[in-house]
Amino acid sequence: MYLKGFPLEFENHYRAIYHGASTVVSNFDRSGSMEIFFALHKPDNTKLYLVHSDGSIAENWPVNIFNTRVPPAVAAGDIDNDGFLDAVVRAESLYVFSHDGIILPGFPVNIYHEHLPFVAIYDLDADGSLEIITVGNNRLYVLNSIGIVKSGWPVTLPGNWNEVFVPPPALGNIDSDPEAEIVAVSAYCFGSGVCDSSYIHIFNHNGSYAPGWPVKMDSGYTFYSQSPTILPGNSNSIVLVNSALYFPPNFDSTRTKTSVYKGNGSLVSEVFTTSFGECSSIPVSVKNADTLLAFGSEPLSLFISNRTNNTMLSLIGNGYYYNSPAVLELYSKTYFTSYLRTIDLSLRCSVYFYDEKGQQAEWSPLRPIGIPAASLSVADLNYDGQTEAVMLTNLTSNNTPKSILHVWTFPESHYNIGKAYWPMYGHDRFRTFQYSFVPPDEPVNIIPLSSSVPEKNSLHQNFPNPFNTTTNITFEIAEISDVHIEVYDNSGKRMSSIVNRKFQPGVYRIPLIADGFSSGVYFIRMKVGEEILGKKIMMIK
């Protein structure tokens, strides 16, 4: 069923397209619910939207970016370390906007790009600040939080500047050192449509190659929209990537090679599939010791592969380009999404939910108006404990395009972030393509301990107490309520706002991380509706 306030239609002539159509869902302003961030585009103009969970547009949004020849890409993170999420946009230039729509110092930064741009963010050098990763033709750039290109960057990828395709990279720690790596793929495609000299690269945070890289692909195999995927391990992270071999002259048959590499560049395995078009990047889920891969093609195939027992399912649907599958648990089953990018006489498309055995959910497909623009995103948008799915579609009527934002809620679905295995395009709002990654600036991790209804609201004594830097706060909520939890020092100064959102009845635990606190006595203040509860705590360094 639709969440109240949705679907939401937007201004004519603007379309959700490519990376900018992949919604980012998170709590940008640290309020009592999440927001939805995305970009709409028409020739020479981009509009950025931040939409509340009730369908209203956030104050100071939309933001207009003019003279944008190329369609935009979006990501989100706390770039300026002020405690709020910022909107990162790659269009004709690179932009960063605060949650209230104000452009940050140092931006925009002009980096010319001929093809489809991307943007991603990560703390590559483990210094506590985020870097911004983007592309300019055949050059890969890393910039700091004020828009300055980092030392060692850009790096130049093989091929002429205007004939190299670079899909979005994967980001994560491939080896055992503290810093992260960038896993990028590139394709050198000539004017005849023949692509060769395609590579997989892994770069260290300083722009140097990691040992064993780059790896050159077999002749004819290429990349266009396929990003690599990182499946992390303690000391054995692996890289998965799809590459495509087209069969000319009509290019309507494609062989996809799914390759698995160790972090040192050695090949682990290859699996081949054939479809009408190239396949997408590879969302991953790991459940009950089974590692499941999912990817789709245009127009008719969704593939679900089990690496543990070497089985492969081929289903109706697709995941081409930015419609790569989302993977999530709903009602105790793991589902893979698939999209039919056509509409019937009712102007509706189909969004399928398949389980790992290839069976559709009884409530599948969803039937939104319009054609899917990109992968859907899943989250607990309004903090009611249930799962929401967010997706943009495009609809053209009388030669006039427009975009529609859809938000569905799944009653009694009990959203669990740990079981949203691949919740959006690129896996997360940093666009890391790294399985199980949680952005470090994500709002604090609230752990439900029990769904039993307590007799009254209560705040437990923190444990441990006294504590050194980190302690846990447990509280009970008797009925649906707005809950605010804050920490004050002995003088009454507010030191931290931990929680500000609506809760269902139950028992919860939340960590308090007090890195910037001095030793001493502090007070936890919990407001539930109009009721005030408190506890005294002590920190000893």
Give the confidence band of 434 by pLDDT, cuts at 50, 70, 90: very high
Section 351-358 average pLDDT: 92
297 or 302: which leads in pLDDT: 302
Ramachandran class of 224: left when φ > 0, alpha when ψ lies in -120 to 50, beta otherwise: alpha
CA distance 201 to 183: 6
pLDDT of residue 235: 63
Cα distances (angstroms) measured from residue 66 to each of 20, 48, 107, 120, 173: 15, 11, 15, 22, 37
Q: What are phi and psi of 18, to 5 degrees?
A: 55, -140
CA distance 21 to 224: 18
Please, what are the domains in the chain? 8-419 (2.130.10.10), 447-539 (2.60.40.2550)
Give the confidence band of 424 by pLDDT, cuts at 50, 70, 90: very high
Give the confidence band of 246 by pLDDT, cuts at 50, 70, 90: confident
CA distance 329 to 260: 25
Of the candidates 462, 438, 455, 441, the one whose C-alpha atom is nearest the C-alpha of residue 510 is 462
pLDDT of residue 298: 66
Helix (H, G, I), strand (E, B) or coil at 21: helix
Q: What are phi and psi of 418, to 5 degrees?
A: -70, -15
CA distance 70 to 72: 6
Specify the DSSP element, H or E, that contains 408: strand 400-410
Report DSSP state, residue 523.
E
Section 368-393 average pLDDT: 92
Exposure b/e, 433-471, CB count within 10 A at least 16 = b: bbbbbebebbbeebeeeeeeeeeebebeebeeeebeeeb
Residue 38 · residue 47 · CB < 8 Å = no
- 289 has pLDDT over 80: no
pLDDT of residue 191: 62
- 374 has pLDDT over 90: no
Cα of first residue to Cα of last residue in the chain, in angstroms, is: 50
Residue 106 is encoded by which pair of tokens? Answer: 């140092």
CA distance 77 to 439: 8
Of the candidates 334, 406, 421, the one whose C-alpha atom is nearest the C-alpha of residue 372 is 406
188 or 497: which leads in pLDDT: 188
- 296 has pLDDT over 80: no
Each residue of 15-73: pLDDT tens digit? 998 888 899 999 998 777 899 999 999 988 999 999 999 999 999 999 999 988 888 99
Section 172-196 average pLDDT: 84
Average pLDDT, the chain: 89
Amino acid identity of residue 534, one-letter, is: G
Ramachandran class of 344: left when φ > 0, alpha when ψ lies in -120 to 50, beta otherwise: beta
CA distance 275 to 338: 15
State CA 222 to chain mean position distance. 25
Choice among 423-427, 468-472, 521-525 with the minimum mean pLDDT: 468-472
Beta-carbon contacts of 281 under 8 Å, excluding residues fewer than 6 positions away, are: 167, 225, 226, 227, 228, 229, 242, 295, 324, 433
**Residue with tokens 């943007």, as numbered in its chain:** 119
State CA 536 to chain mean position distance. 38
CA distance 259 to 265: 11
Cut 0.75: pTM above it: yes
Percent of the chain with pLDDT over 90: 57
Give the confidence band of 376 by pLDDT, cuts at 50, 70, 90: very high
Each residue of 304-342: pLDDT tens digit? 888 887 888 888 766 565 678 899 999 989 999 988 777
Section 518-522 average pLDDT: 93
Residue 366 · residue 339 · CB < 8 Å = no
CA distance 131 to 142: 6
Of the candidates 60, 48, 67, the one whose C-alpha atom is nearest the C-alpha of residue 10 is 48
Q: What are phi and psi of 220, to 5 degrees?
A: 95, -25
Strands (E), 163-279: 164-165, 170-172, 181-189, 195-203, 215-216, 229-231, 238-246, 254-262, 267-275
Each residue of 210-237: pLDDT tens digit? 999 999 998 888 887 789 999 987 667 8
The full 3-state SS of 64-111, as one line of letters, equals EEECCCCCCEEEEECCCCCCCCEEEEECCEEEEECCCCCECCCCCEEC
273 or 74: which leads in pLDDT: 74
Specify the DSSP element, H or E, that contains 450: strand 447-450
Residue 147 is encoded by which pair of tokens? Answer: 């828009």
Each residue of 123-168: pLDDT tens digit? 999 998 999 999 999 999 999 999 999 999 999 999 888 888 899 9
Beta pairing partners, 355: 335
pLDDT of residue 461: 96
Section 427-450 average pLDDT: 83
pLDDT of residue 286: 86
Residue 380 · residue 407 · CB < 8 Å = no
Residue 264 is encoded by which pair of tokens? Answer: 């040192």
Cα distances (angstroms) measured from residue 321 to each of 18, 214, 296: 8, 24, 9
pLDDT of residue 438: 83
CA distance 204 to 425: 24
